[in-house]
Structures are given as structure tokens and as C-alpha cells.
């Protein structure tokens, strides 16, 4: 890849950078951000991926999530990918929950989405390789995300346990094959064969595969989208599978970045313990 530095800003002793590059996977220019903590000056640091939700770019969590201060404290780099391909010639839809800003972290097989909407491969393979070039020597990765990004974090980790050592989520779309936040998008991107959708449903994947360690989920009890997110389905799957982990229902919190930023420190510390020990 040919990376272009869009910006670099000092933050809590580290550097918040934004890059863009031509993506061979998505067939367009892609933008992503990386926070490098001050500890990286002494050697490799573990990497935490944060996948964002519907309508977001790399910038939302980078600017509103408050991850930099916690990452600097615990010595983690944080990667903020975009949520979809973008630009002239990239398919889109008038609805906010389909098309640009709504890639759902799948590889689309249906037109008009398939030429560009390959977000699963982009995150798992192409961007992963670039991040490892930017942060040489480090092979310990955790992943988290919010809403659609929580769905992406869980499904990508469950399908690739060899690539990720820890996984958490904020208000994930937990059972998309049974939700209007999922059935619409999966049918558009993958077609009507629901068997293909199962690879992108955290509840079904957890029932089938389980996870090698514990899982942390935070969910706002006053989330206005609670019926679409279906955390109860994921909780039932964890109980049936006897999967170690926590689903914490947080009283009074909604679906916003105020919720994410409130618990960002908990998640960074939790990943830190699993990636390189408590700091």
C-alpha cells in the first residue's frame, strides 16, 4: 500500500495519526486512524482495534470516544478503521443504514455492492497487514466496537481466533439475522440465502464456535435501539455455551458516544490485562 499521512497530532504523550491509501480490496481510497502511545518509543505495543457503528467514519470514535488517554496509560495502540468504502463510483443508498457508512463488516456478493463492499477482508487482511507494518514486531491484537462495529468485532474475532487475543463490545448488534438491523443489510449484501448470513451473526457464531477466553459486553439499559440490538440472544448463547464473560447492563445509558466514552477506560484496561498484563 502507498500510505499518505493526512494528519498527526500529539495526544497524551503519543501521536494520533490519520492515513489514507488506495485499497485493492475495496477498490477505492480508504481512510483510517491510529493512536500510537508513548510506550511505542521503547518497543512494540499491543494493538486494540475499534470498529465503529452506522453512519460513522474513522473520526467519530477517534474524536469522541476518549480512548487516547486510556491507551497512553496502558500502552496500547488503537486502530480506528472506516465503516465502509466511499467515494465517486461507490454504490450508496438513501437510507442511513445501507451503503456508505454501513458496510456491516461483510464481503458483499451482490450487485451493486460487491465491487467495493469487502469490509471483512479489508479489516482482517489488507488493513491488518498495513497496521503490522506501521507497528512492527507486534502480534498481540484485541478488538472492540460499538453497535454495527460491536457486531463486526465479535464476528471477526469469533471467526479468527488466531488473529485476536481479546474481544469486547459496546452495545453490539448481537443477533442480526433476527433483527431489522441485519436482515435488511445481509439480504442486500449477501442475497436471500440465510445460510450465508450465519457467518455474520455473533449469537450464532458463539453457539457454534465459542471463544477461547472471556468476553466483555457493555449495554446501555436505556438504549433507544435495544430491541434491534438483542443482547438477550447473546446472553442466552453465552449461558448455553457456558462461555466465560460478562454482559453488563448499564442503568441510564443510551446508545451515544457519551455511553461509549464512559466505559472506554474499562474496556482498554480489560484488553490491556489480556494482551500484556495489567499496567
pLDDT tens for 223-263 read: 999 999 999 999 999 999 999 999 999 999 999 999 999 99
Give the residue numbers spanning the domain of 178.
Answer: 4-276
> What does the pLDDT read at residue 49?
98
CATH number at residue 179: 3.40.50.1820
Q: Where in the sequence numbering do the catalytic residues fall? A: 147, 223, 255
Average confidence (pLDDT) over 191-217? 97
The tally of domains found in the chain comes to 1
Tens of pLDDT along 81-116? Answer: 999 999 999 999 999 999 999 999 999 999 999 999
Radius of gyration of the chain measured on its C-alpha atoms:
17
Whole-structure pTM over 0.95, yes or no? yes
Kindly compute the dihedral angle of the four CA atoms of residues 246, 247, 252, 253, in this order, to the nearest 10 degrees. Answer: 100
Separation in Å, CA 25 to CA 53, 114, 216, 268: 20, 11, 30, 29
C-alpha angle with apex 66: 151 to 233, nearest 5 degrees? 25
Amino acid at each position: 500500500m502507498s500510505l499518505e499521512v493526512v494528519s498527526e497530532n500529539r495526544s497524551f504523550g503519543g501521536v494520533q495519526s490519520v492515513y489514507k491509501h488506495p485499497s485493492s480490496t475495496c477498490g477505492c481510497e480508504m481512510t483510517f486512524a491510529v493512536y500510537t502511545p508513548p510506550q511505542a518509543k521503547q518497543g512494540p505495543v499491543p494493538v486494540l482495534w475499534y470498529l465503529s457503528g452506522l453512519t460513522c467514519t474513522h473520526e467519530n470514535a477517534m474524536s469522541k470516544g476518549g480512548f487516547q488517554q486510556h491507551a497512553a496509560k496502558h500502552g496500547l495502540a488503537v486502530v480506528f478503521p472506516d465503516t465502509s468504502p466511499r467515494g465517486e463510483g461507490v454504490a450508496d443508498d438513501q437510507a442511513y443504514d445501507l451503503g456508505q457508512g454501513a458496510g456491516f463488516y461483510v464481503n458483499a456478493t451482490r450487485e451493486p455492492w460487491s465491487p467495493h463492499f469487502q469490509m471483512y477482508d479489508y479489516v482482517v487482511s489488507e488493513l491488518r497487514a498495513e497496521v503490522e507494518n506501521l507497528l512492527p514486531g507486534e502480534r498481540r491484537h484485541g478488538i472492540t466496537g460499538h453497535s454495527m462495529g460491536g457486531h463486526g468485532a465479535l464476528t471477526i474475532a469469533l471467526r479468527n481466533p488466531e488473529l485476536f487475543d481479546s474481544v469486547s463490545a459496546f452495545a453490539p448488534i448481537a443477533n442480526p439475522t433476527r433483527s431489522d438491523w441485519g436482515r435488511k443489510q445481509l439480504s442486500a449484501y449477501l442475497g436471500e440465502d440465510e445460510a450465508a448470513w450465519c457467518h455474520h451473526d455473533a449469537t450464532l457464531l458463539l453457539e457454534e464456535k465459542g471463544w477461547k477466553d472471556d468476553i466483555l459486553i457493555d449495554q446501555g439499559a436505556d438504549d433507544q435501539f435495544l430491541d434491534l440490538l438483542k443482547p438477550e440472544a447473546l446472553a442466552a448463547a453465552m449461558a448455553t455455551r457456558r462461555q466465560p464473560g460478562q454482559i453488563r447492563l448499564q442503568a441510564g445509558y443510551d446508545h451515544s458516544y457519551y455511553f461509549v466514552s464512559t466505559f472506554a477506560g474499562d474496556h482498554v484496561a480489560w484488553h490491556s490485562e489480556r494482551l500484556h498484563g495489567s499496567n
